[in-house]
Structure 1
Amino acid sequence: MTISESLMGDPNEREVIAPFYNTPDESDIVSQLARLLNGLFAVHEAQRMDRNFRGQTIAAVIFKGKLLGEAEALYPQITQRFQGAGFTPLMERRGKSDILLALQGTITAAQVNTRRWVHALLLFLTIITTTLSGAQFQNISLNAISREVQRGNLGYLWQAFVAGAPFAFTLLLILGVHEMGHYLAARRHGVAVTLPYFIPFPLIGILGTLGAVIFIKSPLTNRKALFDVGISGPLAGFIVALIAFVIGLFLTPSSRPNMAFVSLFGSERLGMPILLQVLGDVLRPDITNLARFVSRQPVALAAWFGMLLTVLNLLPIGQLDGGHVMYTLFGKVAWQIAMITFFAMIMLGLTVFPSLLFFALLAAMTGLRHPPPGNDITELNRTRKIIGYGTIVLFFLIGTLTPFSIGF
């Protein structure tokens, strides 16, 4: 949530408000912090404001004034000075004034288990589950695999893995590049981050995975860093998915129906995003039914799923990648956009695409409101804004309201 909506909101919502200079302690805190701002921030007004948080009183001081330079250059200096005094600064611009909140406590890197064997194990399990899912898309059922293995026919198991490998490799490449895009962007901005955690889906069905995640262990300091980390993953994954889809168009599909799709959805018909439909029409005009072709061609199918996952990540809600992008572009207005999107997902989930209810729940669990970075003053440059607006257009080009259709 934004500074103004948390500690500087409605006075009736403040749990503890302490006027300045009523006690020596208060005077010392305000004076000490004000001295630390010398040469960096011209203080016009100040207010001491404490708040109870989880049973503890947290000291907070709000300074209103003007930064004596560019926020991007000054914020690290203010942070360094304040952390030495045991405070964390948060900045935003309100009208012609700069607002600086000094919050008691310092933010340190989160302690997340980053043992490499955990990453390797999860990746190994995800390779197995996605490969078995890919085999099912090639009409090799789990029952058949189990039956043949019990008979001692391990060659059939190998055959299943070979059949499922193109789908699994393509999908995991898209997911891996997506997460590494986040990882590299975070490292570029000096943000502590884990390696990707792949998530195997024990109920092997559509994908065999719930995707992959990384954990950011230290705060993103400004909108530029937030934008770069948020957008790098979807764009990197999209590029790989796009290349994979084009390659898949020129590979031979299975001659048999994809019975895994038929059993789940009653048909092989996939909803085709505008961009993929145009690519199919231009590059392979001889394909009379692109949706059926994609459902039977494992590389193209994995690319299609990669596009779907990219769209879901780009939903403009809270901590999703799209939420990061929308906040950096529109600031606090992103909250209204997130609410509209969330309720639209609920309505579409109840009427058109039931699976959207599940994704709406996941989005809500991450939080619909996007928290601000420490420096919420520095704006995106022109290049980043163009990329951001272009990504909004991309969202509609690779998304579809009905990814799965029931019946022909």
Structure 2
Amino acid sequence: MKFWLILVVLSPITYLLVNRSLKNKTTAPVWLCWLIIMLPSCIWTIWTYIFGEQQPLPLPVLLFPLIICPLLYGWLVQRGRIDKPKDAKDAVETSKNKNIAMAQPTAKTTTPRPIDSTEETALRNCFPWNVYYLQNIDYRPQAIFCRGKLKTIPEKAYHEIKNNVEKAFGDRFFLIFQESFKGKPFFALVPNPQAKAEEGEVKSDQRMGLALVLFVITLVTATVAGATINGTSSEKLLSDPSLVLPGLVYSLPLLSIIAVQKFSNYFVAAYYKVRTTLPYFIPFPFLLDSFSLGTLGAILQRKSPIPHRKALFDIAIVGSLLGLLVVIPTLIWGLSLSSVVPLDESSIFNIQAQDPRLSFLLSLLAKLALGSSLTAKMAIELHPLAVAGCVGLFITAVNLMPIGQLDGGHIVHAVFGQKMAIAIGQITRILALLLALIHPYFWIWTIVMWLIPLIDQPALNDVTELDNKRDFLGLLAIALLIVIVLPLPNAIASWLNI
């Protein structure tokens, strides 16, 4: 019965999150998308109800819904995706940001106001011939494209033309500077829907009450999960709620890791005057004690465009690196409290007998924490604090994947440009799929990568490149992802005697 009660609590929260994420993005019925998201939980609950809690979930029953339902959800959302003009991709992938997509408050489609001959003359005068030689102006439903030849360095051209456009049109337009897929820089003027209501919308974006409620619920679900990881059965928790307190050893470090990552993103975005929501924690009361994690992390929604690639890079990398600075000491401490047990190779993720060799970084930290007690053919029975560190490490690895709108996708976009970032993302997907055919461990990474769209939103100035320091940090982030995801090589394992 308790599982049904959990579903009753989880269902409205999930519906609100799905409704918020799909609003103005697809015509697919929200209730159907929500039903697909809830289907795995329903299947597992029905299995538990029929066969009892003592009967573990068969691997196909566990994995099949996790694979099929996200694919079905993505297909349904994509099928009902609201069509946008083809040239919107050239402008900013403009309308992935729903605020940019709303041009006129009284119109259903994004159509910039026609500019008369006088305004067109003013627009042409915004482009000095020795900065950007303007050749033609192309009017499209979502933007006014200004195409020509760049005559100076990109950063100087963007700032000078941006100042000229602001003098001529005020805050009526966003000015976007981007390279086409043929490598030619162009400018685009996109209507700014926040021109008259920016101050009023800042408060509504924060939604502090919603963020606080979601955090409290997540703290509860993660603490209960930590208590079950610590060996307390759900029946004992129901009879004596005070037994949930040891679960704080798991929940507080895990939520701290997530908070550091997301609030770092939030404050760096605020530094660059990019409007975002507060981080929304996602509670997840899993249905079986042995698989309970309590949360799916947190989300941060951006409400205004990124000004340039430097800001895009800084917002992405600061959260991941600072989060990792919390993850590593948490893992070392948690592993030092863990015990060594015989290796059970039948399970990829097993907190009673976790194989640290599945991750290069985890192997090194485990050897550092456990010393000579960790040897070949031995695994680790993870302490709840170590489980929190492992989950934090997994979340960091997911964030660093060079795909789409993940932090790693932002990083490679900022370092290499949008066109190269799309190619890197596709190559990463294919490599993950090939590795998954060799070792089943990589299937979880492969599924995550193929569920995330490749294309990232460009910055307003998406042409000016980064400095050498940021380029180095970007390569370092990719290296960190590799050492987290790739297993420990046999040669190094033999050298370390693990």
Q: TM-score, normalised by structure 2?
A: 0.64
Flag the 1:294–1:239 CA change in 2: closer, same or farther, 3 A: farther
Match of 1:201 among 275, 284, 287: 284
Partner secondary structure for residue 370 of structure 1: coil
CA distance in 1, matches of 2:133, 2:433: 47
- Are residues 1:158 and 2:253 paired? no
Distance 1:348 1:245, change over 3 A: same
- State the Cα deviation string for residues 131-179 of structure 1 (Å, max 9, x = none): 1111121121223323xx2xxxx3xx212x2221111111111000000
Note the C-alpha offset of 1:2.
12
Deviations 1:280-329 (A, max 9, x none): 32343133269977542111221121111111111101100000000111
1:140 to 227, 232, 253: 232
Whether the aligned pair in 2 keeps the contact of 1:72 and 1:222 (CA below 8 Å) is no
The whole-number CA distance in structure 2 between the counterparts of 1:206 and 1:82 is 58
Q: CA deviation at 1:202?
A: 3.3
Superposed displacement of residue 249, structure 1: 3.3
Q: Quick one: which of 473, 480, 483 aligns to 1:397?
A: 483
Matched, 1:315 2:401: yes
How far apart are the structure 2 equivalents of 1:291 and 1:201? Answer: 34
2:435 pairs with 1:352 = no
State the Cα distance separating 1:219 from its structure 2 match: 0.9
Alignment partners' CA distance in 1, 2:275 and 2:381? 40
| Structure 2 letter corresponding to 1:62 | R
Aligned residues: 367
- 2: CA distance, partners of 1:115 / 1:5: 31
Offset at 1:240?
0.2
> Is the Cα–Cα contact under 8 Å of residues 311 and 398 in structure 1 kept in the other structure?
yes
Corresponding residue for 1:36?
A: 126
The answer as to whether partners of 1:82 and 1:89 remain within 8 angstroms in 2 is no
Matches within 5 A, 1:330-341: 330-331=416-417, 332-341=419-428
What is the CA-CA distance between 1:395 and the residue it aligns to? 0.9
In structure 2, do the counterparts of structure 1 residues 6 and 140 end up closer, same or farther at CA, with 3 Å as the change threshold? same
How far the C-alpha of 1:5 sits from its partner, in A, is: 6.2
Structure 2: state its 5+ residue gaps. Answer: 1-84, 93-113, 489-498
Is the aligned partner of 1:47 residue 2:130?
no
1:197 is displaced (CA, Å) by: 0.5
Shift of the alpha carbon at 1:398? 1.7
Match runs of 1:6-155 below 5 Å:
6=90, 27-38=117-128, 42-52=131-141, 58-67=143-152, 70-71=156-157, 73-74=159-160, 77-78=163-164, 80-81=166-167, 83-84=169-170, 86-92=172-178, 99-106=185-192, 108=194, 113-146=205-238, 149=239, 154=240
Q: Is the 2:356–2:379 contact (alpha carbons within 8 Å) kept by the matching residues of 1?
A: no
Deviates more, 1:105-114 or 1:280-289: 105-114
2:461 maps to amino acid: N
Q: Provide closer, same or farther for how the CA distance between residues 327 and 193 of structure 1 changes in structure 2, counting only shifts above 3 A.
A: same
Give the C-alpha shift of residue 67 in structure 1.
4.6
Residues 239-388 of structure 1 mapped to structure 2, 5 A cutoff: 239-251=325-337, 253=338, 268-272=353-357, 273-288=359-374, 294-331=380-417, 332-348=419-435, 352-353=440-441, 354-356=443-445, 358-363=447-452, 367-388=453-474
Distance 2:168 2:436 in 1: 47
Which amino acid in 1 is paired with 2:149?
A: K
Partner SS for 2:224: helix
One-letter code of the match for 1:303? G
User: How high is the TM-score relative to the length of structure 1?
Assistant: 0.77
Identify if the C-alpha distance between structure 1 residues 383 and 89 changes in structure 2 by more than 3 Å, giving closer, same or farther. same
Following the alignment from structure 1 to structure 2, what is the Cα–Cα distance between the partners of residues 7 and 215? 21
More helix per residue: 1 or 2? Answer: 2
Alpha carbons 1:79, 1:88 under 8 Å: kept: no
Shift of 1:36: 3.0
Give 1:352's aligned amino acid. P
CA contact (8 A) 2:222 2:295 kept: yes
Tell me the alpha carbon deviations over residues 73-98 of structure 1, each in whole angstroms, 9 at most, x when there is no partner.
Answer: 44652563465273322214689x97
Amino acid at match of 2:125: R
Q: What 5-or-longer segments of structure 1 have no aligned partner? A: 9-23, 403-408
Counterpart of 1:187 in structure 2 is 270
Provide the C-alpha distance between the structure 2 equivalents of 1:2 and 1:292, rounded to a whole number of angstroms: 56
- Contact 2:276–2:302 (CA under 8 A) maintained in structure 1: yes
Report the alpha carbon displacement of residue 130 of structure 1 after superposing the two structures with TM: 0.9
Judging changes above 3 Å, is the alpha-carbon distance between structure 1 residues 64 and 185 closer, same or farther for their aligned structure 2 residues? same
Change (3 A) 1:213 1:295: farther
Residue identity matched to 1:172? L
Amino acid at match of 1:195: L
For residues 211 and 243 of structure 1, the distance between their equivalents in structure 2, rounded to whole angstroms, comes to 19
Q: 1:49 is paired with a residue of what secondary structure?
A: strand
Residue deviations 1:92-122 (CA, integer Å, cap 9, x gap): 4689x97342324125367764221111110
Which amino acid counterpart does residue 340 of structure 1 have in structure 2?
Answer: I
Question: 1:130 corresponds to which letter in structure 2?
Answer: A
* 8 A Cα contact 2:335 2:382, kept in partner: no
Write the distance in 1 (CA, Å) between the matches of 2:234 and 2:152.
64
Partners of 2:379 and 2:350 lie apart in 1 by: 16
Aligned to 1:284, the other structure's residue is in SS state helix
The structure-2 alpha-carbon separation of the partners of 1:25 and 1:196, relative to structure 1 and needing over 3 Å to count, comes to: closer
Bigger CA drift: 60-69 or 334-343? Answer: 60-69
| Partner residue of 2:318 out of 232, 237, 241 | 232
The CA distance in 2 between the partners of 1:163 and 1:78, in whole Å, is 61
**Structure 1 contact 179–233 (Cα < 8 Å) conserved:** yes
The answer for the alignment partner of 1:17 in structure 2 is: none
- In the aligned structure 2, how far is the partner of 1:158 from the partner of 1:262? 32
